[in-house]
Amino acid sequence: MVLNLGQAQENYKEFFGEIIEQMPKLIAEGRVPMNVNQLMQRRLDVRNASQDLKSFWMDNCFDTGDAVVYHPKGGLKIVLDSQYLRQITPESEINSGALVLTEDDYRSMEGEEFKKGKPGQVNEWLSKQDVKSHPVWKVLARDQNLLNDYANYIFAEGKQKFGYESTMGVFIDSEEYEFVLLQHYNSELRMWYVNGLEDGSDAVGSDNLDDDDGYLVGIAPEAQSTLGKSVPKISTYTVTDLEAFDNVIKGLEGILNPDVLKPFVQLREKL
């Protein structure tokens, strides 16, 4: 689906194709790759937008600027806004779709590290409560309030449209874990991508940097200073607030005259 951003066209631009080919083009324009936090924010920003715009952000799978690095001893590290990803080129050393790193590279990277078998429940869909407390989602979201609001929204939409009771899994490359460990390879870096709603809105850490179906969104410099501030400006209410409002209205239905509640019901339909 081709993005029709209207007035936001200059702020967001799509880059299709191999990441090793597209990332240098994105960086050359002074843009930065959208990270998981920003994608979550953007999906919340457009929840009351036109159906086409909402569908674009909700239905598509996006590669991000956040990285996952698999270590030879079986651990992994989440590196947010990875400079190694931003510096990738067609000349970078790629092994089975991953960027090959040295031990010094791994140690120098700042990020949340998980020992083998310790990144929480992985490779299956999760309950809403499990998502809100999941260590990987907490790192990628960077903000607990954002994660709570986003999970509430995704679960509500997934339930309404597809009947999902669980979703938003965290999928790591288990084969990469074992392959790197058994072969005593150097650490290898991949990027996190986030699925569309129908595919679970999962966080997936097995992206190949040389596949031709890469899908990056580059954020323009003028938008970078304001995007991170968008969370509290998404609206003056959250999904949790709406659920609480609905419960209050239901509790009043047997007490107050329906005509008294009618304006509040009509207002709720617009939110």
Most confident of 75-79, 246-250, 261-265: 75-79
| pLDDT score for 218 | 96
Give the tens place of pLDDT for each residue, 46-58: 999 999 999 999 9
Give the per-residue pLDDT at 227. Answer: 58
Residue 62 has pLDDT above 90, yes or no: yes
pLDDT above 70: percentage of residues in the chain: 83
Q: What angle do CA 59, 65, 70 make, to 5 degrees?
A: 105
pLDDT of residue 35: 97
Q: Which residue has the higher pLDDT, 270 or 163?
A: 163
Q: How far apart are CA 228 and CA 7, in angstroms?
A: 19
Of 33-42, 63-72, 193-202, 250-259, where does mean pLDDT reach its minimum?
250-259
| Mean predicted confidence (pLDDT) in 18-46 | 96
Say if residue 74's pLDDT is above 90. Answer: no
Q: Tell me, what's the pLDDT at 237?
A: 47
Q: Which residue has the tokens 């509640």?
A: 261
Which pair of tokens denotes residue 51?
Answer: 């159906």
Three-state SS for 113? strand
User: How many CB atoms within 10 Å of residue 146?
Assistant: 19
Closest by Cα among 168, 170, 176 to 208: 176
User: Residue 245 has what pLDDT?
Assistant: 73
Residues 126/167, Cβ–Cβ less than 8 Å: yes
Of the two residues 162 and 261, the one the predictor is more confident about is 162
Taking only the tens place, the pLDDT of each residue in 203-226 is: 999 889 999 999 999 999 877 765
> Residue 184 pLDDT more than 80?
no
